Amino acid sequence: MINITIIDQDNNEHKIELDENCGLNLMEVCKTNDIDVEGVCGGMALCATCHCLVESNHKLEKKQDAEIAMLNQCFNLEKNSRLSCQIQVSKEIDGLNIRLIGDY
Ligand code: FES
C-alpha cells in the first residue's frame, strides 16, 4: 500500500491509501474518492480540467508530448504543473502531495 495526499480546490486535504497495483491514474483516484475533479476528456490529456501542482519532491515519469502541449495552453501553468490523469499510481509516488487547480 502507498499513501498520497490530494488537496482539492476548496483547500481540503485528502489523505488516501492506495494499492500500488490498482491501475488508476490520479484523476481516477480523485473520482473514486469523491474529490471534485472534472476530468472532462476521460484521461486523454485533452482538457486540463485535471490540472494539478506537485507539491512534494517526487521525481515523476517524464511528461509525454500530449501532456506538454495541453499544459502549455493552461492559464495557470507553473513549473510543477502536471495533468493528474497522466500520473499513474505506482510505488514511486508513495508520499506524493498534489494540489488540484483545474483549468477551464
Ligand atoms: S482528464 Fe482531461 S487532461 Fe486529464
Set of cell numbers at residue 18 = 492506495
Ligand 1 pocket mutation pick from 50, 68, 88, 101 by most atoms within 8 angstroms of CB = 50
The full set of domain ranges for the chain reads 2-100
> What is the pLDDT at residue 92?
96
> What is the pLDDT at residue 103?
77
User: What DSSP state is assigned to residue 44?
Assistant: S
Q: In what side-by-side order are the strands of the sheet with 81-83?
A: 13-18, 2-7, 97-100, 51-54, 81-83
pTM of the model: 0.95
Nearest alpha-carbon partner for 60 in 35, 20, 40, 89: 89
Q: Is the pLDDT at 104 greater than 70, yes or no?
A: no
Q: Is the pLDDT at 102 greater than 90, yes or no?
A: no
Total residue length of the chain: 104
Identify the CATH assignment for 2-100 out of 3.30.9.10, 3.30.1050.10, 3.40.109.10, 3.10.20.30. 3.10.20.30
Ligand 1 pocket mutation pick from 35, 83, 98 by most atoms within 8 angstroms of CB = 83
Q: What is the pLDDT of residues 6-65, one digit of tens each?
A: 999 999 999 999 999 999 999 999 999 999 999 999 999 999 999 999 999 999 999 999
Pocket of ligand 1 (CB under 6 A): 27, 39-41, 43, 45-50, 70, 83, 85
